[in-house]
A and B are shown apart, each in its own frame.
Chain A
Amino acid sequence: MVTRVLAGEQSPEQCRSSIASRRTWFRILFGAMGASIASLLYPVCRYLVPPPDESLNTSEALAATTNELKPNSGKTFRFGNKPALLVRLASGEYRSMSGVCTHLGCTVQYRPESTQIWCACHNGCYDLNGRNLSGPPPRALDIYDVHVRGQEIYVSRKQAA
């Protein structure tokens, strides 16, 4: 039997289906709105990540001039945006290594008394080849190449062999 519906009236089934379709429509609408709002989170998350620092790629820096360092002394200089160490051994030979302690990132210094590299923060010691000798440092310091050109001493990252 067919249910007759008068104009302006709804059968219970129609009423139910109309509520159901309204609900579906509501879900689609709010789902789409939610998705578009969520899509704003993507640029925000990307924005929060700082852009890469160009100075990280620095491969060479001027460390000192030849008349600057006496034998058995050291100097800290800027290599990119990190400190690095230039040491003149008692023999007059130059050595250079990263100035950032491998333990917790303090800046290390050359100690002429012990002819070692020492980190004041937690008493870490390295030898002149950058190897960690005592204290908490877990790894050796990166060693750099030293080139003397005329009066100027340049330091560069070690080329991968």
Chain B
Amino acid sequence: MNAAGRVQTWIDERFDVEEALQPLRDKTVPVHRHSHWYFLGGLTLFLFGVQIATGLLLLLYYRPSASEAYESVQHIMNRVQFGWLVRSIHSWSANLMVFCAFAHMFSVAFARAYRKPRELTWITGVILLFLILGFGFSGYLLPWNTRAYFATKVGTEVAGQVPVIGRAIMIFMRGGEDVTGATLTRFFGLHVVVLPAIAVAMLLSHLLLVQKFGISVPATVENEWQDRPDLRKEMKFFPNFFLRELMAWYIALAVLIALATFLPWETGTKVDPFAPAPPGIKPEWYFLAQFQTLKLIPSHILFVDGEVLGILGFGLGGALWFGLPFIEALLGMRGARLVRLGVTLALTYLAAMSVVGYVAR
């Protein structure tokens, strides 16, 4: 027996690898006209992996302090070999990951895949989406440039508008009254330790639940299959679906490298806390809808501050989104149709406000 075989036997005598892998071999993926949406979750996972790999590389040269952060990012972009590539992939991959996570979530919402018994899968998924947004918000400040500085100022100010506890939250996030080097250090710790730890735990739960319940078939397709069982089709997860997913990852990697090479991420100008906000300043595209809403909302509605109302609205929206499976169940017969209408409205609102926010001065 060769060396590899001996090692395998040695392991097999102690731990049954075959048995551990069996669930993956038995796993199947339903085949129907909407099957292509199944790639989005895996794609988000792949981009998360890219973020971990490039993030670890960036940690080798990045320095999290107000006096050095901007210079260290410049050092990565200009002096470290292929530093521009690593940082640009990190930034582009972050944006693609947010996009894939949103697309995955809306595809799940439209397919009503959150129905019993998959409520927990939905909830862990929504938590993961909020974590991803948290990664985006905290990571954006780290290069310590003007855009990041004002985005963080506005973002933390928004949190400060929450009634009663808002101010305490804002001071906690900023590490003081203002956005300073203390904020940068906090956001750094959040971005590289706290959020990754929670995200990995959440991600494992999410994957475990997906594995346990199998892959959901959209309600419409499920009904057709119940009428005509001969139409029911599946493919093996391994290797059939896995190889297809691998191709999707490979294409995503090519897109990432192309974007990073031809459109490397800018460094911006270093923060000057006493300079006025530059005109046309905007947050990242995934916060544009909220940004634009706060811009459009009147300063007073009845006796309440417009801002406060807007933020309470976001909170309510988020809570409803978490509760989607339960709301559908509560509404009974018409639940499915009402929820679909709600999801369509939410998507339309987010998309429209993002476009308006992008075009608006």
Tell me the A residues contacting B by CB distance below 8 Å. 33, 43-44, 46-51
Contacts and interface: CB of A to CB of B under 8 A. Distances in A.
Chain B: number of interface residues, binned into ranges? 10 to 19
B250 A47 contact: no
Q: Is the interface of A mostly helix, strand, loop or mixed?
A: helix
Given A33-B250, A48-B60, A43 B85 contact: yes
Contacts of B79: 51
B250 A51 contact: no
18 contacts: A33-B250, A43-B81, A43-B82, A43-B85, A43-B86, A44-B57, A44-B86, A46-B82, A47-B60, A47-B81, A47-B83, A47-B86, A48-B57, A49-B81, A50-B61, A51-B79, A51-B80, A51-B81
A50 B75 CA distance: 11
A33 B57 CA distance: 23
Nearest to B75: A51
A33 B83 CA distance: 24
A65 B286 CA distance: 58
Interface string B60-75: 1100000000000001
Interface centre among B57, B81, B85, B250, by most chain A C-beta atoms within 10 angstroms, is B81
Interface of B: 57, 60-61, 75, 79-83, 85-86, 250
Contact of A46 (B61, B75, B81, B250): B81
A33 to B, nearest CB: 6
Contacts of B80: 47, 50-51
A126 to B, nearest CB: 36
A49 B82 CA distance: 10
Interface centre among A46, A47, A51, by most chain B C-beta atoms within 10 angstroms, is A47
A48 B75 CA distance: 14
A120 B82 CA distance: 41
Nearest to A43: B82
Given A47-B83, A47-B85, 19 more contacts: A43-B81, A43-B82, A43-B85, A44-B57, A44-B82, A46-B81, A46-B82, A47-B57, A47-B60, A47-B81, A47-B82, A48-B57, A48-B60, A49-B81, A50-B61, A50-B80, A51-B79, A51-B80, A51-B81
